[in-house]
Amino acid sequence: MLKISNQGDDMKKTDHLKNAGLKSTLPRIKVLSLFESAEQRHMSAEDIYKLLLSTGDDVGLATVYRILTQFEQAGLLVRHFFEGGKSVFELNQGKHHDHIVCLQCGQVEEFYDQAIEERQEKAATERGFSIRDHSLYIYADCNKENCPHR
Amino acid sequence: MLKISNQGDDMKKTDHLKNAGLKSTLPRIKVLSLFESAEQRHMSAEDIYKLLLSTGDDVGLATVYRILTQFEQAGLLVRHFFEGGKSVFELNQGKHHDHIVCLQCGQVEEFYDQAIEERQEKAATERGFSIRDHSLYIYADCNKENCPHR
DNA sequence: ATCGCAAATGATAATGATTATCATTTGTAT
DNA sequence: ATACAAATGATAATCATTATCATTTGCGAT
Ligand SMILES: [Mn+2]
Ligand SMILES: [Mn+2]
Ligand SMILES: [Zn+2]
Ligand SMILES: [Zn+2]
């Protein structure tokens, strides 16, 4: 039961998990660490699974799925349904925002528009609906140099 | 090879299909008819399949899926990805619009907000993106009398 | 540090939606 | 009416995700 390295860092995550009502386990700490250190904020279960494999931090695929759902329910992660059929997750930093997804390179950019939010609320209440949630995805070409198309 | 009934109606659909570059077949005419006569505009493959079964107009499930995809590519239908994992289709009436979906009864209401459209365009161009498409779904409680939840 | 045990994990089977195969049927141009 | 490419339908295969269940692990109480 050697404790190897960064106890301090894992301690912080342990507390983070405990606060969320989840017991601190190795797989959960690994997934949480990945989200905090990964270059891309938005990742699918498969992304997580493969990244963990690549660093030798093996976690079963079923466990990855379970943890993602638990983290979502605990409010640690937010789930998105981009086109393509698979769920994508990101760390919940508390601020709601919408997304622009490049159809060529998959790059995701975040934005927030107060006017859009207000008009949505208006559209719903005008029709007698009470908004629970909403999702706005803009699919586009990013036109960046490193982007495959153009 | 009896021609039974409504030749006039089927003739119109035949032309409709031909114009879309699709040859006029019985399954395609049935699916198109269903969309034009169904009470709910927004339907999944399974919905279509079961409705056709219920009227004795049997069409294989694989064929339903193929036809929906073909109709989408031909511009006859529009596909939506509401939460829940399954694609939903509606007749393409040419006018873009967004959707409010009741989380309790599944009722779908359509709306269009010019301001939202413009702000989306702005958000994208400000970041150098060229919009190809976008999807905006509002999930809410409809608060109608006939709705299960209150 | 050691126990005890509920909770978590992981290998794998199962599910649900959708697509691929391929033998048979059908629409259509001749 | 004939011929043949295209479409259909039964079914297998695929993909993402969830369910099972035997084994392992975190953690509170000794
Ligand atoms: Mn985001
Ligand atoms: Mn609609
Ligand atoms: Zn790009
Ligand atoms: Zn409702």
**pLDDT tens digits, residue range B27-69?**
999 999 999 999 999 999 999 999 999 999 999 999 999 999 9
In whole angstroms, give the CA distance from residue B94 to residue B91. Answer: 9
Residue B1 lies in a domain: no
In whole angstroms, give the CA distance from residue A29 to residue A43. Answer: 16
Cβ neighbours of residue A148 under 8 Å, at least 6 residues apart?
A104, A105
Nucleotides of strand C within 7 Å of the protein's CB atoms: 7-13, 16-21, 26-28
Same domain, B18 and B85: yes
If you measure CA to CA, which chain B residue comes closest to A117?
B116
The domain tally of chain A equals 2
Same domain, B29 and B82: yes
Same domain, B77 and B132: no
Residue A68 lies in a domain: yes
Return the CATH number at A24.
Answer: 1.10.10.10
Return the CATH number at A123.
Answer: 3.30.1490.190
Length of chain A measured in residues: 150
Cβ–Cβ under 8 Å, residues B127 and A109: yes
Cα B115 to Cα A126, B118, B133, B134: the distances in Å are: 16, 5, 16, 15
Residues of A 44-83 whose CB lies less than 7 Å from any atom of strand D: 44-46, 61-62, 65, 69
Domain boundary among the residues B52, B73, B91 is at B91
pLDDT digits (tens, 9 = 90+) for B99-136: 999 998 989 999 999 999 999 999 999 999 999 999 99
pLDDT bracket for residue A85 (50, 70, 90): confident
pLDDT bracket for residue B3 (50, 70, 90): very low
Is residue B146 pLDDT above 50, yes or no?
A: yes
Is residue B8 pLDDT above 70, yes or no?
A: no
Strand C closer than 7 A to residue A53 Cβ: no
Place of tokens 């008009």: A119
Exposure b/e, B15-25, CB count within 10 A at least 16 = b: ebbeeeebeee
pLDDT given for residue A7 in this prediction:
59
Q: What is the mean pLDDT of chain B?
A: 92
State the residue range of the domain holding A71.
Answer: 7-91
Cα B10 to Cα B33, B41, B69: the distances in Å are: 9, 20, 21
Same domain, B106 and B42: no
pLDDT given for residue B150 in this prediction:
63
